Amino acid sequence: MTLSINEIYNQDCLEGLDQIKSETVDLLLTDPPFGIDFDKVGSQYNRKQKELGRLYIEIHEDYYDFTLQWLQAAWKAMKPTASGFIFSGWNRLGDILNALTETGFRLVNHLIWKYQFGVFTKKRFVTSHYHILYFTKLAAKDDNLRTFNRISEYSSSPGKLYFEDVWRIKRDYQKGGDKTPTRLPLAITDKCIRIASNEGDLVLEPFLGSGSVVLSCIKYNRRYLGFEISEPIFTIAKKRIEEMRNQFEEKSNKLDNWLIKTKN
Ligand SMILES: C[S@@+](CC[C@H](N)C(=O)[O-])C[C@H]1O[C@@H](n2cnc3c(N)ncnc32)[C@H](O)[C@@H]1O
């Protein structure tokens, strides 16, 4: 099968990644499966989204081997100047860090995403952060080739360009409809994409889930390619992507009309 750009596939990424033309991807932005029993997590935190949680496909084989396999395939698909972000909870962080190093990537930052999580725990602290590993294929001596846009709205001190490695971003409140348990807020995928890629760049998300990464690509005019193995989750992603595309087409149509009107 030949893959098309700006398309998502209901497919195992281990098969899909091998079909990507070598050295074409500018940015890998992904939120892989956690490698934990989602039902247990769901009940532990009393989530009402247990049903959809079951539709997510989890990794029951060796998590390190699985991670190494998809990272090596992603490496081949990425340009020599490419960089990437991987989201990870704390429980599988060690495996991901080891697999990243083994593959040959160089870690640039270890970011923390701090979110709010209003649950009561009896004998442990409430998990309210996520890890984001920011890395590159480039060797340190060539680091000047890495895309890093210093967008002022993301600086932590007004007027100065301090970019802190702790990001305080709220989780989305999902109203009705197709709730998905691990949906990334667009505020976070927008930020990664705007800082680490340029318009027209190709962004790869091998573990789409409900498709937040692709939505940010549409908003900011990046090309994309994505895979999701679960059919029901893929359907949710497809719907969200179509809605976002329509919204953006509507916006550009309005803009075109406005231009025509002002010209007359
Ligand atoms: C943590 S979730 C991603 C959530 C996503 N960031 C969002 O905003 O909804 C990981 C996703 O990877 C999918 N997945 C698991 N194994 C996969 C594989 N081998 N290939 C493609 N997708 C896979 C799961 O079904 C799940 O939807």
pLDDT tens-digit readout, 224-255: 999 999 999 999 999 999 999 998 877 666 66
Give 165's pLDDT tier (boundaries 50, 70, 90). Answer: very high
Q: In angstroms, rounded to a whole number, what is the distance separating the alpha carbons of residues 161 and 116? A: 26
Indicate whether residue 230 lines ligand 1 (CB < 6 A).
yes
**Atom 4 in ligand 1: which residue has the minimum CA distance?**
209
Structural domain that includes position 89: 7-263
Answer yes or no: is the C-beta of 9 below 6 A from any ligand 1 atom: no
The whole-number pLDDT of residue 248 equals 84
In a domain, 15, yes or no: yes
Q: Per-residue pLDDT tens for 111-160?
A: 999 998 767 889 999 889 999 999 999 999 999 999 999 998 888 777 77
- The minimum-distance atom of ligand 1 relative to the CA of 58 is 15
* CATH code of the domain in which 215 resides: 3.40.50.150
Residue 143 lies in a domain: yes
Query: Per the domain annotation, does 2 fall within a domain?
Result: no
Q: How far apart are the C-alpha atoms of 241 and 205, rounded to whole Å?
A: 14
Distance 139 CA to ligand 1 centre (A): 29
In a domain, 224, yes or no: yes
Q: How many CB atoms lie within 10 A of CB 177?
A: 9
The answer to whether the CB of 183 is under 6 A from ligand 1 is yes
Inside any domain, residue 128: yes
- Cβ neighbours of residue 60 closer than 8 Å, sequence gap 6 or more: none
Q: What is the mean pLDDT of residues 178-207?
A: 92
Q: What is the pLDDT of residue 59?
A: 66
pTM metric for this prediction: 0.89
How many domains are there within the chain? 1
| Ligand 1 atom with the shortest distance to the CA of 32 | 10
Q: Domain for residue 1, yes or no?
A: no
pLDDT in tens, 36-82: 554 444 433 333 444 555 567 766 679 999 999 999 999 999 999 99
Q: What is the pLDDT of residues 82-114, one digit of tens each?
A: 999 999 999 899 999 999 999 999 999 999 999
**What's the rounded Cα separation, in Å, for the pair 78 and 169?**
28
Does residue 235 lie in a domain region? yes
Closest CA to 234 of 253, 261, 209, 207: 209
